[in-house]
Amino acid sequence: MINLETPDYLKNLTSGIHNLAKTVLRPISRKYDEEEHSYPKELDMFRGMQILGRPKKKKKDDETKQEGDGKPKKGINLSTVAVIEEMCWGDAGLLLSIPNAGLGNAAIAAVATDEQMERFGKMWAAMAITEPGAGSDSGAITTTAVLDGDEWVLNGEKIFVTCADRCDCVVVWATVDKKAGKAGIKSFVVEKGRPGFRLEHLEHKLGIRASDTGTFVLDNCRIPKDNILGSPEVKTGTEGFKGVMKTFDNTRPLVAAMATGIARAAVDYLREKIEESGIKLDYSKNPNNVSSIEKEFYLMEAHLEAMRLLTWRAAWMADNEQFNNTEASMSKAKAGRWATLITQKTCELLGPLGFTRDELPEKWMRDSKIMDIFEGTGQIQHLIVARNILELSSKELK
Amino acid sequence: MISFMPSEEQSVMKETLAKLVQNTIKDNAHDMDEKRIIPQEFIAKFRELGTVQSPIPEEYGGFGLAASPIMNTIILEELAAGDMGYAIACTLPSIFINPILECGTDKQKEKYLPALASGECEATLAINEMHFKFDAASPKTTAEKKGGKYILNGEKCYVPLADVAKYFLVAARCENENCLFIVEGGTPGLVIGEREKNLGLNTLSTYKVTFSSCEIPEENKLCGAEGYDRLLQKTRIAMSALGTGVSRASFEYARNYAKERVQFGEPIAHRQAIAFMIAEMAYEVDAMRLMTWKAASALEAGRDAKRESYLAKLYAGEMTMKITDYGVQILGGHGYIREHPVERYYRNGRCIACLEGLAIV
Ligand SMILES: Cc1cc2nc3c(=O)[nH]c(=O)nc-3n(C[C@H](O)[C@H](O)[C@H](O)COP(=O)(O)OP(=O)(O)OC[C@H]3O[C@@H](n4cnc5c(N)ncnc54)[C@H](O)[C@@H]3O)c2cc1C
């Protein structure tokens, strides 16, 4: 039965996280925005917190142990998006810098063997898909991996890798067979310190400056044969690649939740200022009979609610094992775009307060912009939604 | 437990209404709009389902089932996806029944509910007023207490089915408070004007209704500010359900059209400029529905939904125009011609932000 009331367990969970965000992240938010590339050591307390990655699938006997702790066993995706929203209300760049909670950790947890889990499970793992010539078109990557005896030899360049400096290892996408196209793309764990693996430089960014983004060069980089994630076999067709892309169905709602968190930070800030100025937001008057600031505020709040609901739906579907490819992209399309618009508008309504680095809104405007770019740009999300809705192939709708 | 999935009962209702719409108005909506009429038997087909009577206690002739705001949003969306005027006309008695159930005295329930439960009469709500900066939160119509009576003065507009309604619920200011009053058709001083000619909702007959020193007995006051506020919440949620319905209709029509219309050698849906509009329509319809459900969930849980209902209606008002505009645009010049329903959706959709209180959950 449809019921969109926020359950008590989520309220309790998020109010705890909200406190953390307020007392731990907010106070250092500006500091690490200014000190780009320095590691926020205050984050050590969060090491290994399950944020971006789902825990490895439990074995049968583990699962029975989980029962009876009072929490719904299945709600992991929903509670994750709720937690991420709170953390990003605190600071999105810092959330992305939580040790051992990289996107690579999620990729490893999803497919690693027990032995690989043993070796890589405790590492901080970044994710390297993007190349200078392959951004949105991730199937076009040209980094190669060739088996040479007991080792893979990797060659190529990976850009825009989140946590490039701080991570212990990187999950690298490379092709083992260029002729096989997307089916030839595999992922490999490359630990820092492997011969031929070099962090080339770190980027200077518009926002999320607390998060380090860098370029790796793989120059005849050698890694052990069993550093490959999943099967080395090149299957015909694109099933394998589609499997990899499916992990985006889990991560896109997470980015949507980040966007929602930043937008909410802006909306909360603005609400405080509006109320301090003596305006009472009463949610009953004709929205065209109130001041322009009030109407804009109500609209922003409405869009914020829409962002969150689309995000929660996508996560809820994943929890209930429903295929959520369309809904995951819908949530990111909406939230990525509107986090940008809401934070822009917040600065506009704040006037001088919205332009100064003494206050955080200008930072949120810069931070939120990335949400419409990484994990698939807004345009790519629209493509995915449109193809699904119109039942068109990627050839028909390019 | 939180859930985004309709129950069996909710799904069955949705399917039933989809069939009903298919079998009644679907192919007639265009003609109905041109002729400005809804065949009575189409309304009767809906009323037979008994959803209007369902929350009325058995002692007054209803089914005594708990009112469900969420179910009501599902009903309104589905009917409005057929025709918004039809959705409003079908469910109109509820706009009188639900507030009576919520704030009526036993005497009021006894007096009004049996006739409404048996379906022998219509009832309506008079809330909108024809003046600049109209605000449902501060109506200009007044009620003055004099002796054992209230005297109503003011002008209302967009009162659905006022020509046949036996009972009117009237929004008026009384002693600095928003109140609802019950006025019976035929009361001296209650004047039903001409049928209105509107931008949209042509199938629905609406009227100007004037109260000039219209005297009603004291016991005809239904509620003060608190009940009035609840009415606003419930009607705002209903308006966003209507917006969701008409937007969905426009989205679905444009989607199907874009797949078939060929220009430059391939379906226009193959172009991103069109496909991206359709993607946006799809998730905005969903967002509107989720906001509607969210607000209705608060009511269903017995909570106040002031903020949620306000935001849902505001959102629906904005998005319905955006989506129905896209609907026309995707059809190009053909979308401008009345043969296609998208221009009708565009006209009808404007009412979500312009008006209040056309339906209730
Ligand atoms: C701060 C930051 C962190 C990042 N972290 C990581 C990371 O950890 N790992 C990783 O692998 N990558 C990461 N990325 C890379 C990110 O995912 C890509 O930048 C993104 O996917 C877009 O690719 P691009 O920059 O090459 O843009 P392009 O693909 O060149 O796109 C340029 C423009 O064209 C549009 N466009 C592209 N294709 C189409 C199409 N078919 N139809 C319509 N429009 C289209 C895009 O929407 C965009 O507006 C990160 C990027 C940044 C900035």
Q: Cβ of A373: how many Cβ atoms within 10 Å?
A: 17
Backbone angles phi, psi at B3, to 5 degrees: -155, 140
From A96, A130, A375, mutation site for ligand 1 pocket: most ligand atoms within 8 A of C-beta: A130
In angstroms, what is the C-alpha Rg of chain A? Answer: 22
Q: Within 13 Å of residue A347, how many CA atoms lie on the same side as its CB?
A: 19
Q: Angle at Cα B319 formed by Cα A1 and Cα B262, nearest 5°?
A: 100
- B70: closest CA among B244, B285, B294, B287? B294
> Rounded to 10 degrees, what is the CA torsion of B162, B239, B40, B52?
-90
Q: Which residue of B has its CA nearest to A301?
A: B311
The answer to whether A212 and A202 are in contact (CB under 8 A) is yes
Q: Find the residues whose C-beta lies inside 6 A of ligand 1.
A: A 103, 127-130, 135-136, 160-162, 205, 213, 370, 373-374, 377, 379-380, 383; B 272
Rounded distance between C-alpha atoms, residue A249 and residue A132, angstroms:
24
In CATH terms, B122-224 corresponds, of 3.40.30.10, 3.10.129.10, 2.40.110.10, 3.30.390.10, to 2.40.110.10
Residues of chain A with CATH 2.40.110.10: 123-229
Task: Tell me the whole-structure pTM to 2 decimals.
Answer: 0.95
Phi-psi region of B119 (alpha: psi -120 to 50; beta: other; left: phi over 0): left
Asked if A284 and B269 come within 8 Å (Cβ–Cβ), the reply is no
Nearest by CB: A4 against B279, B294, B318: B294
SS (H, E, C) chain A: CCECCCCHHHHHHHHHHHHHHHHHHHHHHHHHHHCCCCCCHHHHHHCCCCCCCCCCCCCHHHHHHHCCCCCCCCCHHHHHHHHHHHHHHHCHHHHCCCCCCCHHHHHHHHHCCHHHHHHHCCCCEEEECCECCECCCHHHCCCEEEEECCEEEEEEEEEEEECCCCCCEEEEEEECCHHHHHHHEEEEEEECCCCCEEEEEECCCCCCCCCCEEEEEEEEEEEEHHHEECCCCCCCCCHHHHHHHHHHHHHHHHHHHHHHHHHHHHHHHHHHHHHHCCCCCCCCCCCCCCCHHHHHHHHHHHHHHHHHHHHHHHHHHHHCCCCCHHHHHHHHHHHHHHHHHHHHHHHHHHHHHHCCCCCCHHHHHHHHHHHHCCCCCHHHHHHHHHHHHHCCCCCCCC
Q: Cβ of A153: how many Cβ atoms within 10 Å?
A: 16
In angstroms, what is the C-alpha Rg of chain B? Answer: 20
Rounded distance between C-alpha atoms, residue A197 and residue A155, angstroms:
9
Place of tokens 């008590």: A8
Protein residue with least CA distance to atom 44, ligand 1: A379
At A52 the pLDDT is 56
Written out in words, the top-level CATH class of the domain with range A240-390 is mainly alpha
* Extents of the domains making up chain B: 8-118, 122-224, 226-354
Rounded distance between C-alpha atoms, residue B79 and residue B25, angstroms:
10
As to burial, measured by CB atoms within 10 angstroms (0-12 exposed, 13-18 middle, 19+ buried), residue A12 is: exposed
Q: Which residues of chain A have pLDDT under 50?
A: 56-72
Question: Residues A128-133: contacts with CB within 8 Å, 24+ apart?
Answer: A128/A158, A128/A161, A128/A170, A128/A171, A128/A172, A128/A173, A128/A216, A129/A158, A129/A173, A130/A158, A130/A159, A130/A160, A130/A161, A131/A156, A131/A157, A131/A158, A131/A159, A132/A157, A132/A159
Provide CB contacts within 8 A for A108, sequence distance 6+: A53, A116, A117, A120, A121, A125, A171, A189, A229
Token pair of B23 as six digits: 């079998």
Written out in words, the top-level CATH class of the domain with range B8-118 is mainly alpha
Q: Cβ of A166: how many Cβ atoms within 10 Å?
A: 19
Q: Which residues of A are catalytic?
A: 375
Token pair of A244 as six digits: 């990899």
Query: What are the Cα distances from residue A55, in Å, to A49, A50, A80, A302, B71?
Result: 10, 7, 11, 33, 37
Distance from Cα A82 to the centre of ligand 1, integer Å: 26
At B208 the pLDDT is 98
- A339: closest CA among A254, A249, A265? A265
As a residue count, chain A comes to: 398
Residues of chain A with CATH 1.10.540.10: 8-107
Q: Which residue of B has its CA nearest to A305?
A: B291
Chain B residues lying within 8 Å of A327, measured CB to CB: 286
Written out in words, the top-level CATH class of the domain with range A8-107 is mainly alpha
The answer to whether A81 and A254 are in contact (CB under 8 A) is yes
Asked if A2 and B297 come within 8 Å (Cβ–Cβ), the reply is yes
Rounded distance between C-alpha atoms, residue A295 and residue A198, angstroms:
52
Distance from Cα A162 to the centre of ligand 1, integer Å: 13
ipTM at complex level: 0.95
Distance from Cα A138 to the centre of ligand 1, integer Å: 9
| Amino acid letter for position B19 | K
Chain A residues lying within 8 Å of B272, measured CB to CB: 379, 382-383, 386, 397-398
Rounded distance between C-alpha atoms, residue A348 and residue A337, angstroms:
17
Asked if B133 and A306 come within 8 Å (Cβ–Cβ), the reply is no
Rounded distance between C-alpha atoms, residue B158 and residue B130, angstroms:
9
In CATH terms, A123-229 corresponds, of 3.40.50.410, 3.40.50.300, 2.40.110.10, 3.90.1150.10, to 2.40.110.10
Atom of ligand 1 minimally distant from the CA of A134: 26
At A56 the pLDDT is 47
- pLDDT, tens digit, 9 for 90 and up, residues A333-370: 999 999 999 999 999 999 999 999 999 999 999 999 99
As to burial, measured by CB atoms within 10 angstroms (0-12 exposed, 13-18 middle, 19+ buried), residue A174 is: buried
At B204 the pLDDT is 98
Displacement of CA A31 from its chain's centroid (Å)? 22
Indicate the fold that domain B226-354 takes in CATH.
Butyryl-CoA Dehydrogenase, subunit A; domain 3 (1.20.140)
Per-residue pLDDT of chain B (361 residues; tens, 9 = 90+): 999 999 999 999 999 999 999 999 989 999 999 999 999 999 999 999 999 999 999 999 999 999 999 999 999 999 999 999 999 999 999 999 999 999 999 999 999 999 999 999 999 999 999 999 999 999 999 999 999 999 999 999 999 999 999 999 999 999 999 999 999 999 999 999 999 999 999 999 999 999 999 999 999 999 999 999 999 999 999 999 999 999 999 999 999 999 999 999 999 999 999 999 999 999 999 999 999 999 999 999 999 999 999 999 999 999 999 999 999 999 999 999 999 999 999 999 999 999 999 999 9
Distance from Cα A137 to the centre of ligand 1, integer Å: 8
Displacement of CA A366 from its chain's centroid (Å)? 16
Q: Cβ of B27: how many Cβ atoms within 10 Å?
A: 9
Chain A residues lying within 8 Å of B229, measured CB to CB: 284
Token pair of A148 as six digits: 């040479």
Residues of chain A with CATH 1.20.140.10: 240-390
Provide CB contacts within 8 A for B160, sequence distance 6+: B88, B89, B92, B124, B125, B204, B205, B206, B358
At A62 the pLDDT is 46
